[in-house]
Amino acid sequence: MQRRHFLALAAAAPLGLRAQVSDLNDAINKAGRQRMLSQRMGKAWLALLVLQTEGHTASAVLDKSMALFDRQLVELKAFAPSAEIRETYTALEAAWSDYKTALVGAAPSKAGAPAVLRADARVLALAHQGTLQYEATMGRPVGKLVNIAGRQRMLSQRMAKFYYAATLPVDTANAVAEIGKARSDFLAAMEVLRTAPQATTRIREELALADGQWLFFDQALQRVQSGAAATAKPLSDVFVTSENLLSVMDRVTGFYAAQPT
């Protein structure tokens, strides 16, 4: 299959979505997905500057991610079982408004990248806070696993985002450092998910698929960490493999979220 076809599949890949928040496991899953979307939008925005021949794919990912973030924000705020959680999502609404303005207020440009990165960091922090609050409300081991699996989705997008930031370049030293941190967190969490007592055969099979995608993704990450110049193929590979990792880890998160509490 051609790279362009892989990109089309990646952009169209559905996430495991439900119309409303059904329970606390589902709330943790969706709250964690908001973390991922904060980074996926930043990745897609930066990719519009880097992936000139596949810009339509990055644009589609950005549009779909923004729409999904809007929808889930409404659902999570409505489901909030405490005043503290509602306050978090009220603050997230304000941060999201600023981030949305940074994303669509002007055409993507290298000069605008620092503002986008600052805005996505604020949204990520609040989305993470909401995820932890929902996990604490549940207070069960499976809730923690849903959180960990869901965070892997975010890390896949965060590494790709900073890969493109380093490529532009925008604050390369920080971008490379953030890739290193996210990479270590991702690998450690994979081991936790693999060895968890709640890991079913299906979950382990999905994690094996993620391992295969990780090999290609990590090769490109290590090149940028070493200072090697990026070429067209790894630039596209990072977009595709980050989307593929996202799809697999979204399924894993859904499997954990479907387990009885």
Instruction: Answer whether 168's CB lies under 8 Å from 113's CB.
Output: yes
Nearest to 183 by CA among 175, 173, 193: 175
In a domain, 35, yes or no: yes
In a domain, 13, yes or no: no
- 29-79 pLDDT, tens digit each: 999 999 999 999 999 999 999 886 566 889 999 999 999 999 999 999 999
Paired tokens of 99: 């981030």
- The total of structural domains in the chain comes to 1
pLDDT of residue 99: 98
Nearest to 11 by CA among 216, 239, 164: 239
- 220-260 pLDDT, tens digit each: 888 776 666 666 677 888 999 999 999 999 999 999 999 88
In a domain, 11, yes or no: no
Model pTM score: 0.91
Distance, in Å, from the CA atom of 160 to the CA atom of 172, rounded to the nearest integer, reads: 13
In a domain, 141, yes or no: yes
In a domain, 14, yes or no: no
pLDDT of residue 242: 95
pLDDT of residue 229: 60
In a domain, 49, yes or no: yes
- 16-33 pLDDT, tens digit each: 556 688 899 999 999 999
Instruction: Answer whether 222's CB lies under 8 Å from 125's CB.
Output: no
122 has a pLDDT exceeding 80: yes
In a domain, 235, yes or no: yes
In a domain, 125, yes or no: yes
Domain that holds residue 139: 22-257
45-49, 119-123, 126-130, 216-220: least confidently modelled range: 216-220
153 has a pLDDT exceeding 50: yes
